[in-house]
Each structure stands twice: as C-alpha cells, then as structure tokens.
Structure 1
C-alpha cells in the first residue's frame, strides 16, 4: 500500500467546500475553497495519495458531496482514499468500481464487522478501517457516539477480517495544531501487521517524523498544510 512513508494531504468536504474541523466538532469548520483546486494543489506539490472525507456523509449517515468527489476523481491522477457516509458494501464497491482506490469505513465497520470481509473479498486491500479515538475509546457517527471499544483491540479484530489498513485518528488533538501523541499510535501499530495511517494534531514537521518513528506507514495532514504551518514539500523532505 505504501512502499515508503507517505504524507497524505486531507481534502475534507462539507457543502461542496474544503473545510477543517477542530476536535471533530460539527460547526467548527474553517473553509478553504473548492475541493478540485485543493486536490490539484497537493498533487502539484508532490502528493501521490489524497485523503478525501465527506463530512456531511459522516454526520448524516449517507453519502453526500458526490459531485465534488467525482470532480476530484476526474481532475487528478493519484491514489484516492475516501470516507464519510459509506454504510453498505454496495456503496463501497460502487466507489471502488468508479475509481476510488481505498474506502474508509468507520461506523459501518463497528456496526457490521463482516462488511470488511465482504468488500475485501471482491477488492483485496481496499478497505481502511477508521478507528477514531476520543478519551481512549473508539467513537463513531461523526465522533459523537462512544463504542466502548479499545482502539488496539479493535484494530487487531479488523486485521483478521481482511482490512488492508487502519486509519487511526486521535480526535482529542484533531485540527488543533497543538502536536501529536505518539503513544496511542504506537499501541495500534504494535497490535497489527497491516499498515497504520495516523491522523490528528500534526502541527510541525517534527510531528510527522515522530509518527513515522512510532511505526505509522503514513500520516494524514490537514490543518497544518492549509494554515501554512509547513509546506507539503517540507514534510516530505523531513521523512526522506
């Protein structure tokens, strides 16, 4: 999936616009323009993978922003991983057939773990299970509902079901530009043999290096890039 450590820009979409939420809280989003423009900007800067999230879909439980997603798929030649509002195997397989490289399942995987195996059977290594942790617990439904699941234990379970990777988001530090916490990431990395993509809290290139050193295969970066804390080129150079 990632032959070498990857820095993946986030393109989170709400109402057809790029936004970044603070701490996963609805209504805290700052807007950054059109998704296609953002996607092109990151590809031109050297990104090989884009992380797309349909925030309306995540909160409402059904896919939205379809036009914006299709426009990005048409506009760029890159690996695309997409999450938000994907609740059924049919939804996921439709997206994979349309050109998405990996689908991200959060709530759907918690409510119906077998969906991971069902999709993976038809599209091996195409499922990233999103484990969003708040106060040490996996949360779902747009980070609004606790599950009682331990992130590392859940990661191991999904790896056994055929997940191609784990997307681990530390919601407590998401979007705050205050730095990362490596210990929660390391716990998940140690629990599985599939790639773990880290997300949440990245504020400096040192944070990017710290997540690589914690064993992550890649890192998703959003607010730090959009706010100009560092450039994508600087982040990529820091982990060469």
Structure 2
C-alpha cells in the first residue's frame, strides 16, 4: 500500500500535543501556544466531523529531540481505531523509532530534523514501509529550518523537496512557519514552488484562516492541507472546508 497517497484532496485537522494537551503555537515559537484540552477529545471531535486523517505532532519532541508525549499520542491511536489515517511527527530521530510507530498503528511518520541531519534515513524506512515517510520542510523567510524551527539550514524548500523525493519520501509536508498559527492567510506561491518541484503529494500547512485559503491550496496543487488554529478557534468547520474543497 502506498501510505502517502491521497485519493482526493483532504482537510486534515492538527492535534499538536505539548505537556499532554492540545496546543497551537504562533509562528512556531515555543511558549506562544494556546491550549485546547485533551488530545483524545480533540481527535474524537475531528473524526466525528468527518476527518479521514489526523495530523499528530509531539511538540515537546520537536523541540527536545526525543518523543515526550508518547502516552497521549498512544491514547489517541487507541481511541480512533482503524479507518482513520494517522500521521505523526515530533521527536522521531531514528529508523527504529519510525519502524516501531509504523508497526503500532501510525500510517505515516513525519521526519524533519532527522531527515536533514541524515537524509538516508528516508530510504531506510521506505525500504521496509514503502510510502510511509513524510518529509517535513518547515520554512522561515524562504529557508528550511529544523530543531523546533530554531536553526536555519540554508536549504531551499523546493530543492530540498526534490532531493527527498529521490530518496523515497512518499510525501512532502510543507509548513510556512512565518504565517503559522496567525490566522493571516497563506503564502500560495511558496506552496506552488514546492508542488512544481516534485511528483509526490505535497501536504500544505501554515496560515490557513478561511475556507478560501483551503480552496487556494487545492488550486495550488497541494494534495491535502493541515489546519489547526482556524478549526480550534471556530473560523470555519471541518465539514465546511472539506465541502468547499470538494466543489472547487
């Protein structure tokens, strides 16, 4: 099975976990998060609203370099059961970590820092779990950043996306950190440049403030969009966003 394939455009709710609670950061800055309660309750809310996939992030893991919310994430996996796609990032640094997660209910693992520091990890995981690796390219001011969005790499997002596709990435998660969590809109051109660089699906993230933003990302060629703050703040419903995308 090609785990990273999207048969049609998806709106994917984010369940970002910090200290065991759902948190949405502003511009990727630690300490800026607004809390939205229990991850299991959030996951149930989104699956009840029609989500086909959930985007899970261990925020503490992203900053500290090792998974810190395994219990909370595990509870979400157990609660949603089969039939819902699950992609997880944050603190996954080794192939063994990834293999373990993929064998226990996660469909796709999201690698950011690990993929930058050790590109061959993508091929290693893909060998045993084809299509399961999503490489996360987080961009600030046009540059890929790692280690919880704190360190620049000098990499251009589009060039990096093509490189990781060649190593076996099943999809690219492109997050524009400059607009993350601010409800001020997306940077469509940045997404288009990454989409044009690869043939694998591109999952867009960052800045979605309206249903129009969702539609624009579909029109830009993204295969899916991850939405966090806008959904939690009630700017629009998941059903509204998915319906608008389906009609576009």
TM bucket, shorter chain: over 0.9
Alignment of 1:43-122 (within 5 A): 43-77=47-81, 78-122=84-128
Q: Give 1:120-199 correspondences, 5 Å limit.
A: 120-199=126-205
Q: TM-score w.r.t. structure 2 length? A: 0.96
Q: Mind listing any 5+ residue stretches in structure 2 that lack a counterpart?
A: none
Residue 230 of structure 1 aligns to a residue in which SS? Answer: coil
Structure 1 residue ranges, 4+ long, deviating more than 6 angstroms after superposition: none
- Tell me by how many angstroms 1:6 deviates: 0.3
Unaligned runs of 5+ in 1: none
Aligned equivalents of 2:46 and 2:151: distance in 1? 32
Q: Does 1:238 align with 2:239?
A: no
User: What is the rounded CA distance, in whole Å, between the counterparts of 2:53 and 2:117 in structure 1?
Assistant: 28
**Can you list the C-alpha shifts for 1:4-35, whole angstroms capped at 9, x where unaligned?**
00000000000000000000000000000000
CA distance in 1, matches of 2:94, 2:197: 26
Q: Distance in 2 between matches of 1:5 and 1:15?
A: 32
Q: Is 1:5–2:9 an aligned residue pair?
A: yes
Taking structure 1 as the reference length, the TM-score comes to 1.00
- Kindly report the root-mean-square deviation, in angstroms, between the aligned alpha carbons of the 2 structures: 0.4
Q: Could you list the per-position Cα deviations for residues 56-99 of structure 1 after superposition, in whole angstroms to 9, with x for gaps in the alignment?
A: 00000001111101100000031100000000000011100111
**Alpha-carbon shift at residue 121 of structure 1 (Å):** 0.3
SS in 1 for 2:31: coil
The whole-number CA distance in structure 1 between the counterparts of 2:119 and 2:205 is: 22
Aligned equivalents of 1:203 and 1:184: distance in 2? 17
